[in-house]
């Protein structure tokens, strides 16, 4: 669901006769829901086993997507359905990182890369399926209903799965947040800032890239959906390729290099004179974007015990806030200036990640190979 709004944005705006600026409101609904989901998981669900949480959010997401597909007659009912969908969609993301941070104490960076590579695989497949459905005549409503059915299938599959819980998990309180921040305040601050800007840049591309290819290069909805697939194919490939290199260079050094690649190819995507060159640049922008979240997530092993999970939850919150703010702002900026200029703002955010990579190197105490 995370990537669906991009391929579906143009059909939704056309069907509901909404101006470009309203696209920001739709993305605001979904990503604001993700903010609320992170807060709910960390402040209200500690006594609920992780497996039960996953089952619950899968069924609620199925219901919300059904409402969005069948019953939402206009902007604000769809906003509400997307908000609930965002809330349920973020919780499995957060649980995966909290689980790795708590259970995998050696090779955390590699474990994060593997987990989020499978996440990227799902995001690569989804736009292909959506593009094919649109090209065969399906409406955006039927796509959402199909995703509701998939959520129900996942809930049924989870029923028979086994998932060891995280010992010592409890609802967060101000005391714990202060203790986590007090353990390594500059490190935590640099991690949260890097994730805020990175996820903001990733989300801008995920939500607005397909619309850009349609408006700037006349792409069909199916081809525009493929542009999102290429972005996430680059992200998936980068995450698989970088895993063997985590023992050879410091995470901060790898982060700076790949963020620079993202910055360069985002500019290439925006400035490309034709669709083919734009799609090529999209793929390499994805390769550049691939490593930020798992590499920064690897720094959670600098925090003791359960506080590693608290730190990762802080990353999830920072990322969802970045998604909410920047994906919404693109709508008004595109309406006032142009979608090309608005999309180019993504390069500014990835350039800030380069700066923060050097800050992470200084405050983490890592050597050239990343060891403490």
Distance CA 145, CA 162 (A): 28
Distance CA 312, CA 14 (A): 38
Distance CA 112, CA 164 (A): 18
The per-residue pLDDT for range 85-108, each reduced to its tens digit, is: 999 998 988 888 777 777 776 777
Q: Do residues 352 and 292 make contact, with C-beta atoms less than 8 angstroms apart?
A: no
Backbone angles phi, psi at 174, to 5 degrees: -60, -35
CA angle centred on 203, ends 199 and 208, rounded to 5°: 160
Q: Do residues 303 and 183 make contact, with C-beta atoms less than 8 angstroms apart?
A: yes
Which pLDDT does position 372 carry in this prediction?
Answer: 42
Neighbours of 185 (CB within 10 A): 12
Encode the chain in three state secondary structure: CCCCHHHHHHHHHHHCCCCHHHHHHHHHHHHHHHHHHHHHHHHHCCCCCHHHHHHHHHHHHHHHHHHHHHCCCCHHHHHHHHHHHHHHHHHHHHHHHHHHHHHCCCCHHHHHHHHHHHHHHHHHHHHHHHHHHHHCCCCHHHHHHHHHHHHHHHHHHHCCCCCCCCCCCCCCCHHHHHHHHHHCHHHHHHHHHHHHHHHHHHHHHHHHHHHHHHHHHCCCHHHHHHHHHHHHHHHHHHHHHHHHHHHCCCHHHHHHHHHHHHHHHHHHHHHCCCHHHHHHHHHHHHHHHCCHHHHHHHHHHHCCCCHHHHHHHHHHHHHHHHHHHHHHHHHHHHHHCCHHHHHHHHHHHHHHHHHHHHHHHHHHCCCCCCCC
Distance CA 71, CA 238 (A): 39
Kindly give the parts of the chain with pLDDT less than 50.
369, 371-372
Which pLDDT does position 116 carry in this prediction?
Answer: 73
Residue of 295, 254, 260 lying closest to 116 (CA atoms): 295
Which pLDDT does position 246 carry in this prediction?
Answer: 66
The per-residue pLDDT for range 168-212, each reduced to its tens digit, is: 777 777 777 788 888 889 999 999 999 999 999 999 999 999 999
Domain boundaries along the sequence of the chain: 5-364
Distance CA 310, CA 313 (A): 5
Q: Do residues 91 and 57 make contact, with C-beta atoms less than 8 angstroms apart?
A: yes
CATH homologous superfamily of 5-364: MFS general substrate transporter like domains (1.20.1250.20)
Which pLDDT does position 358 carry in this prediction?
Answer: 93
CA distances from 5 to 114, 165, 207, 208 (A): 25, 32, 6, 9
Q: Do residues 340 and 216 make contact, with C-beta atoms less than 8 angstroms apart?
A: yes
Neighbours of 42 (CB within 10 A): 23
Which pLDDT does position 184 carry in this prediction?
Answer: 86
How many residues are given for the chain? 372
Q: Please, which contacts does 153-162 make with residues 24 or more away whose CB atoms are closer than 8 Å?
A: 154/58, 155/55, 155/58, 155/59, 155/62, 158/51, 158/54, 158/55, 158/58, 159/55, 161/51, 162/51
């Amino acid at each position: 669901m995370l990537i669906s709004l991009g391929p579906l944005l143009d059909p939704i705006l056309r069907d509901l006769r909404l101006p470009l600026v309203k696209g920001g409101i739709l993305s605001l609904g979904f990503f604001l829901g993700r903010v609320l989901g992170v807060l709910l998981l960390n402040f209200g669900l500690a006594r609920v086993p992780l497996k039960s949480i996953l089952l619950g959010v899968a069924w609620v997401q199925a219901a919300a997507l059904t409402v969005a597909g069948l019953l939402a007659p206009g902007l604000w009912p769809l906003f509400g359905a997307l908000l609930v969908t965002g809330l349920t969609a973020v919780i499995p993301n957060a649980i995966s990182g909290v689980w790795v941070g708590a259970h995998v104490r050696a090779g955390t960076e590699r474990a994060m890369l593997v987990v989020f590579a499978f996440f990227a695989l799902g995001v690569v497949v989804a736009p292909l399926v959506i593009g094919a459905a649109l090209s065969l005549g399906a409406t955006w409503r039927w796509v959402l209903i199909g995703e509701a059915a998939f959520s129900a299938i996942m809930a049924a599959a989870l029923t028979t799965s086994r998932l060891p819980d995280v010992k010592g998990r409890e609802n967060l309180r101000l005391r714990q947040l202060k203790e986590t921040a007090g353990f390594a305040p500059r490190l935590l601050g640099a991690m949260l800032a890097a994730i805020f800007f990175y996820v903001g840049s990733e989300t801008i591309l995920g939500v607005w890239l397909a619309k850009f290819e349609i408006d700037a290069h006349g792409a069909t909805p199916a081809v525009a959906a493929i542009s999102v697939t290429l972005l996430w194919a680059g992200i998936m490939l980068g995450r698989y390729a970088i895993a063997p290199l985590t023992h050879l260079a410091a995470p901060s050094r790898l982060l700076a290099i790949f963020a620079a690649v993202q910055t360069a190819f985002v500019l290439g995507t925006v400035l490309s004179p034709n669709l083919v060159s734009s799609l090529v640049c999209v793929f390499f922008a994805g390769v550049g974007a691939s490593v930020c979240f798992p590499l920064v997530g690897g720094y959670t092993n600098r925090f003791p015990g359960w506080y590693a999970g608290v730190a990762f939850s802080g990353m999830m919150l920072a990322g969802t806030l970045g998604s909410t703010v920047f994906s919404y702002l693109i709508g008004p900026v595109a309406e006032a200036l142009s979608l090309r200029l608005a999309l180019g703002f993504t390069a500014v955010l990835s350039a800030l990640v380069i700066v923060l990579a050097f800050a992470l190197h200084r405050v983490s105490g890592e050597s050239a190979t990343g060891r403490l």
